[in-house]
């Protein structure tokens, strides 16, 4: 594996990853879907290390969407328990690497035991500055915007905000993680070309890169390859 030679300005500050393809990876091997999720853990933590090596400052990992409740009760239960295990198993290692873990998602419906584990990991790593790892669990872009709109509406009704005066900056304050920066590189694995309700507000000017690799087969090299593609793009932000 070789770290690509890129200039500092060619490295994305914030990378969002849709970790897709675990089920298909398992199916190809005649294994249950859950074995695919288990195999995906190593991929995520290799990508975290690769992100640190190349100088990415923020990484958002889509681990469970608000639509994933539609899966079988067995798979949902597995994923809840698995997220708890991963957080417990990896938090010290992440802390040693200087990773700040941040939960991004909707509290409603998410298992209390998962929220508790996320809070423990957040408290442990809150002072870290090397990389922010946004664990997006029970995250949905529409739910994020709806929850923000409801917050704002309630402030308007209490006369703490004025209708007609809501700015981008104000709306951003009500997102699940107000400090999150705009996404520079949006990466999805497994060959699917869609964003599946991940970070719509933050990704309006992200460069989209779709890779034909199943998530458990991903390594830091996959991230670096995606970053090379990103570096070759011309970002214009609407300018001529
Ligand atoms: C992504 O892999 C992991 C989660 C959504 C939790 P999938 O489980 O969606 O795998 P495929 O898309 O069925 O292969
Ligand atoms: C997106 O993948 C959600 C996560 C990776 C957590 P899905 O597999 O749920 O998305 P769709 O159903 O293919 O759009
Ligand atoms: Mg999928």
Helices (H), 70-191: 73-96, 112-125, 141-157, 168-173
How far apart (Å, rounded) are the C-alpha atoms in residues 75 and 131? 30
The tens digit of pLDDT for each residue in 17-35 reads: 999 999 999 999 999 999 9
Cβ–Cβ < 8 Å for 57, 134: no
How far apart (Å, rounded) are the C-alpha atoms in residues 64 and 84? 12
- At 119, is the pLDDT very low, low, confident or very high (cuts 50, 70, 90)? very high
Q: Is 92 one of the catalytic residues? A: no
Tokens of 68: 């994933």
Q: Which of 68, 95, 128, 197 is catalytic?
A: 68
Q: Return the DSSP state at 216.
A: G
The tens digit of pLDDT for each residue in 45-99 reads: 999 999 999 999 999 999 999 999 999 999 999 999 999 999 999 999 999 999 9
The reported pLDDT for the residue numbered 224 is: 98
The reported pLDDT for the residue numbered 203 is: 98
The reported pLDDT for the residue numbered 1 is: 83
Cβ–Cβ < 8 Å for 35, 215: no
* Ligand 2 centroid, distance to 181 Cα (angstroms): 22
The tens digit of pLDDT for each residue in 209-236 reads: 999 999 999 999 999 999 999 999 999 9
> Order of strands, edge to edge, in the sheet holding 58-65?
99-104, 131-139, 58-65, 14-18, 185-188, 207-210
The reported pLDDT for the residue numbered 75 is: 98
The backbone region for 32, taken as left when phi is positive above 0, alpha when psi lies in -120 to 50, beta otherwise, is beta
How far apart (Å, rounded) are the C-alpha atoms in residues 99 and 92? 10
Q: Is 85 one of the catalytic residues? A: no
- Report the residue among 134, 140, 196, 198 best suited for mutation to probe ligand 2: largest number of ligand atoms under 8 A from its CB: 196
The tens digit of pLDDT for each residue in 136-195 reads: 999 999 999 999 999 999 999 999 999 999 999 999 999 999 999 999 999 999 999 999
If DSSP codes are grouped into helix, strand and coil, which group holds residue 115?
helix
Cβ–Cβ < 8 Å for 24, 214: yes
User: Would you tell me how many other CB atoms lie within 10 Å of the CB of residue 70?
Assistant: 9
- Report the residue among 23, 34, 72, 80 best suited for mutation to probe ligand 1: largest number of ligand atoms under 8 A from its CB: 23
First to last CA, the chain: 38
* Ligand 3 centroid, distance to 120 Cα (angstroms): 28
The reported pLDDT for the residue numbered 225 is: 98
């Amino acid at each position: 594996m070789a770290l690509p030679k890129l200039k500092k300005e060619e490295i994305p500050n914030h990378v969002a990853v849709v970790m897709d393809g675990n089920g298909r990876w398992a199916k190809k091997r005649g294994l249950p879907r859950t074995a695919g999720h288990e195999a995906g853990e190593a991929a995520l933590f290799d990508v975290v290390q690769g992100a640190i090596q190349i100088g990415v400052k923020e990484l958002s990992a889509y681990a469970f969407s608000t639509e994933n409740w539609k899966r079988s009760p067995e798979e949902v239960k597995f994923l809840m328990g698995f997220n708890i295990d991963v957080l417990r198993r990896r938090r010290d290692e992440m802390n040693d690497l200087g990773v700040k873990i941040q939960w991004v998602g909707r509290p409603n419906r998410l298992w209390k035991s998962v929220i508790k584990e996320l809070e423990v990991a957040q408290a442990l790593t809150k002072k870290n500055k090397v990389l922010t790892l946004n664990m997006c669990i029970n995250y949905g872009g529409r739910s994020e915007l709806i929850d923000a709109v409801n917050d704002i509406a309630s402030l308007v009704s209490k006369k703490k905000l004025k209708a007609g005066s809501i700015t981008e900056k104000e709306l951003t304050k009500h997102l699940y993680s107000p400090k999150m920066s705009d996404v520079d590189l949006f990466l999805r694995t497994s060959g699917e070309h869609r964003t599946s309700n991940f970070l719509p507000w933050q990704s309006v000017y992200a460069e989209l890169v779709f890779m034909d690799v199943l998530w458990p087969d991903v390594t830091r090299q996959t991230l670096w390859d995606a970053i090379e593609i990103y570096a070759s793009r011309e970002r214009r932000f609407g300018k001529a």
